Structure 1
Amino acid sequence: MPLEILGKPIGPIGFGLMGFTWRPNPTPDDQAFATMKRAIDLGATFFNGGEFYGSSIRTLNLDLINRFFTKYPEYADKVVLSIKGGVDLKTLAPDGSPEFVRKSVANCISHLGTAKKLDIFECARVDHRVPIETTIAALGELVKEGRIDGISLSEVKAETIRRAAAVHKISAVEIEYSLWATEARDLGVLSTCAELGIPVIAYSPLGRGFLTGQIRSRKDLEEGDIRLPFERFSEENFPVNLQLVDEITKIAKTKGVKPSQLAIAWIKKHEEVIPGLKIIPIPGATSVEHLEENLAQVEPMTDEEFAAIGAILEKVEIKGGRYFKIAEGHLWG
């Protein structure tokens, strides 16, 4: 069945926009625009960005999106745009109070301008000081007002999804899911979303580039890269975690695909494994070349390949948390 969100068709794979702007040197507009256009032309029409996706100026991502759709207004209605916000732009601490989420939505709309509607808004992390019901009710009022069209959740546990869905329709649940981050399956997030009919947006499906096999050491990352402080990219853990990449690469070569393509095919295979699940990986890319690699049509993963990868995941232990210690405290809200 074709995938739809908010009644709009989207491709089986979406597009994450964070990498354009949350880096020491943001991607030039001409390169970013060419990549965004190509994504839409190839059917990757679920775009995911953030109010705070900028290393120097937090709103760089929103401003880039504004410039793109201002220049190419014919693409605006073809894209479902989901934006993460709900965090203090200085400290990145979550704030789920009604007053703050309203302020965050207003800021997103202000930076997007009239170029593109804010289709879906999601709080990037759950504020443990505020009941999720209170936050969702406030966002529901913004839906009624026509400020946004839908509400998504991010980095949440199964219980939170159920509580939120009891207050308002949830358009999607965004969670990190990949070959080296399978907690969403183990903690029942995927099965809960399948049961409730909520699409899952799998962010960092390529392990922030690690699973592509193109990053072999910390020296391959430029100074100031946001991944350097993450535990899995530490000097101690990096070479250990490469074991997974090497094992996956062997299967990819046998299948005749890139490791990145195998990683995405593995995620999509879950739609067969978990009845009712709809899952949309959102790999990022800053060039047309890498985008086309991620979106290339490859042979679906077989049951045998899925089982072989499962055996690898049982054998290879991933070292280090997905983020650094402070950020880890905001996961699974």
Structure 2
Amino acid sequence: MPQLVGKEIGSTGYGLMGLTWRPQPQPKEASFKAMKAALEAGCNFWNGGELYGTADFNSLHLLEEYFTKYPEDAEKVVLSIKGGLNNMMPDGSPEGVRKSMDNCLKILNGKKSLDIFEYARVDPKVPIETTLKTLDEEYVKTGKLGAIGLSEVSAATIERAIKVTKIAAVEVEVSLWSMDIFQNGVAETCAKHGIPIAAYSPIGRGMLSGEIKKPEDIPEGDFRRHMPRFQPGTFDKNLELVKELEKIAKQKGCTPAQLAIGWVKHFSEKDGNPTIIPIPGATTEARISENSKDVSLTTQEEAEINEILKSFPIEGGRYGGPGAQLMNG
């Protein structure tokens, strides 16, 4: 079983990223049921963010309420939180570090220790060494924080980071339509230094589940409506890939989402890759159950999927606008 900060990541090897921002948050009790179901399914790596929601109610507030109600679950969970943003732009200065970290700890209110903290993006105006040194000396070494992670970084930044402090994990988007880490050196660098990868959006932000058939299926206010791959024109081209994958899933007797997650997981520790932990988003017990089912791939199925990927190249970037400029920091 994979490990993070000295703790085993449950029997499935999957995480849970059901703590993201959504335009219409569901009732707390429904979220609590999904979180309970995640633990029961062996999904004990929970990934949230100070940025997922509003200043008055984000995933940290939800976590605080959950662990107040279920204090016995606190030690079962490996909690990773992203932060470090000021008006949705990274602030890696010592002052920015303190503001974000102190706010996260204040909201958690001692109900759950913060196992991993990661800057959502690297601040291009502040040396990564400055940011990490502040986190390490003022929070890790004082026992306020378990460990430090990185998010959406380049291989070069990882090399710089490990000279400052121990890096617990690198979070980056990995899916059938986001294979960048295997070409840009991130997977290779993480493998070399024994750093696990937390693979977010393994279902292609929901697209690879097959449930989104047209751009209008995305809820109003959802940020995916502004992303390049979901725009009219590019959306239709990317949908062709989904249709082909649905055929393989049907033959295999699994859902497209399970196939997509299994595809990401099968790269873990294969051909010199690092440990890769998929962290699919989920808000319901049913989705947790679906996502946590372990689906492995045969050599033939892997070859078929590779051929599909060659025939239907992905259209559009992962992010647009300012978001694209902060990738691979």
Could you give the per-residue CA deviations for residues 140-186 of structure 1, whole angstroms, max 9, x where no partner exists?
A: 11100111010000000111111101111100000000001111111
Instruction: Report what 2:266 is aligned to.
Output: 269
d(CA) in 1 for partners of 2:96 and 2:322? Answer: 22
Instruction: Report what 1:69 is aligned to.
Output: 67
Aligned-residue Cα RMSD (Å) equals: 1.2
Matched, 1:305 2:304: no
Q: Which moved more, 1:203-212 or 1:218-227?
A: 218-227
> TM-score, normalized by length of structure 2?
0.96
1:260–1:71 Cα change, 3 Å: same
Instruction: Report what 1:240 is aligned to.
Output: 237
d(CA) in 2 for partners of 1:105 and 1:224? Answer: 28
State the identity as a percent. Answer: 50
Instruction: Report what 1:127 is aligned to.
Output: 123
Structure 1: 5+ residue stretches without partners: none
1:322–1:58 Cα change, 3 Å: farther
Amino acid at match of 1:84: K
Q: Which moved more, 1:158-167 or 1:263-272?
A: 263-272
User: Size of the alignment, in residue pairs?
Assistant: 326
d(CA) in 2 for partners of 1:272 and 1:278? Answer: 5
Alignment of 1:157-236 (within 5 A): 157-236=154-233
Amino acid at match of 1:41: E
d(CA) in 2 for partners of 1:149 and 1:235? Answer: 44
2:81 alignment partner, SS class: strand
Could you give the per-residue CA deviations for residues 225-245 of structure 1, whole angstroms, max 9, x where no partner exists?
A: 121111111122111110110
Could you give the per-residue CA deviations for residues 77-133 of structure 1, whole angstroms, max 9, x where no partner exists?
A: 000000000111xx2001111221121110001111121111110000001111111
Q: How far has the Cα of 1:57 moved from its partner?
A: 4.2
d(CA) in 2 for partners of 1:37 and 1:18? Answer: 13
d(CA) in 1 for partners of 2:196 and 2:123? Answer: 22
Instruction: Report what 1:154 is aligned to.
Output: 151
Q: How far has the Cα of 1:310 moved from its partner?
A: 1.5
Say if 2:187 and 2:273, in contact at 8 Å, map to a contact too.
no
1:271 alignment partner, SS class: coil
Instruction: Report what 2:249 is aligned to.
Output: 252
Q: Which moved more, 1:311-320 or 1:139-148?
A: 311-320
Which 4+ stretches in 1 moved above 3 angstroms?
Answer: 56-59
d(CA) in 1 for partners of 2:143 and 2:303? Answer: 46
Q: How far has the Cα of 1:291 moved from its partner?
A: 1.0
d(CA) in 2 for partners of 1:224 and 1:41? Answer: 32
Instruction: Report what 1:324 is aligned to.
Output: 320
> TM-score, normalized by length of structure 1?
0.95
d(CA) in 1 for partners of 2:241 and 2:111? Answer: 42
Q: Which moved more, 1:75-84 or 1:132-141?
A: 132-141
d(CA) in 1 for partners of 2:70 and 2:220? Answer: 33
Structure 2: 5+ residue stretches without partners: none
d(CA) in 2 for partners of 1:58 and 1:152? Answer: 25
Matched, 1:117 2:113: yes
Instruction: Report what 2:51 is aligned to.
Output: 52
d(CA) in 1 for partners of 2:18 and 2:263? Answer: 22
Instruction: Report what 2:78 is aligned to.
Output: 80
d(CA) in 2 for partners of 1:9 and 1:243? Answer: 38
Instruction: Report what 2:14 is aligned to.
Output: 13
Q: How far has the Cα of 1:18 moved from its partner?
A: 3.4
Amino acid at match of 1:18: L
Amino acid at match of 1:266: W
